[in-house]
Amino acid sequence: AQKVTQAQTEISVVEKEDVTLDCVYETRDTTYYLFWYKQPPSGELVFLIRRNSFDEQNEISGRYSWNFQKSTSSFNFTITASQVVDSAVYFCALRSVGTDKLIFGTGTRLQVFP
Amino acid sequence: DADVTQTPRNRITKTGKRIMLECSQTKGHDRMYWYRQDPGLGLRLIYYSFDVKDINKGEISDGYSVSRQAQAKFSLSLESAIPNQTALYFCATSDPQLGQHFGDGTRLSIL
């Protein structure tokens, strides 16, 4: 079975703090993709990153960074120097090669206070 | 223009009514999906289609039906709406290389 767990339901931080959102996944597939999406209060889903299961290099994009570790089946997302505009619900998702179906975690609501 | 367009964006209706949510895409993708989002549950797959002649049930298809009228169009129907189908609905297309592209969602409220 495939599953994505985001154990943190809600996180609150003060602006400029660093924050890490956890994502743990389960799959028997040897090839798969992992994603992070952002859902701001307006409701749309904004694609942030896609990671191939064969590529364990960490990635940094501005204030965002992702730590992919196959040994612990985790794909964690860190926001450095958080800003109020980062307030949103963040979803981690898993996709198997072939079906393209996305299995989503339940999301983590991040609130960044000024 | 948006690549994946959902109509309507918001809808309030009554129990027992038939409702259709429409999705159209300009990306030329064969694969299309319908998800629903409920608070605390994330997004769950309702139906998906790999081409015009291929329709598949997702994990929560009961109470829903779909129609793939053309490569670019994928409609979701609630034949007799019930209050627990109140949710945010997303349509998506899939690029095998890059992942899924989502519409902006349809907020559906059933009274």
Condensed to tens digits (0 to 9), the pLDDT of residues A23-33 reads: 999 999 888 99
Contact by Cβ (8 Å): B60, B46: yes
pLDDT of residue B100: 84
Judge whether residue B27 has pLDDT over 80. Answer: yes
Task: Determine the residue among B27, B38, B102 to mutate to test chain A binding: the one whose Cβ has the most chain A Cβ atoms within 10 Å.
Answer: B102
| Band of pLDDT at residue A10, cut at 50, 70 and 90 | very high
Highest mean pLDDT among A1-5, A19-23, A27-31: A19-23
- A33 contacts in chain B (CB < 8 Å): 99
| Band of pLDDT at residue B17, cut at 50, 70 and 90 | very high
Across the interface, do A45 and B90 touch by the CB < 8 Å criterion?
yes
Of B88, B94, B99, the CB nearest to A43: B88
Q: Which residues contact B40 (CB under 8 A, 6 or more apart)?
A: A9, A106
- B90 contacts in chain A (CB < 8 Å): 45
Contact by Cβ (8 Å): A94, A40: no
**Residue whose pair of structure tokens reads 């409701």 in the numeric block:** A43
How far apart CA A61 and CA A55 sit, in angstroms, is 16
Judge whether residue A13 has pLDDT over 90. Answer: yes
| Band of pLDDT at residue B92, cut at 50, 70 and 90 | very high
Across the interface, do A50 and B99 touch by the CB < 8 Å criterion?
yes
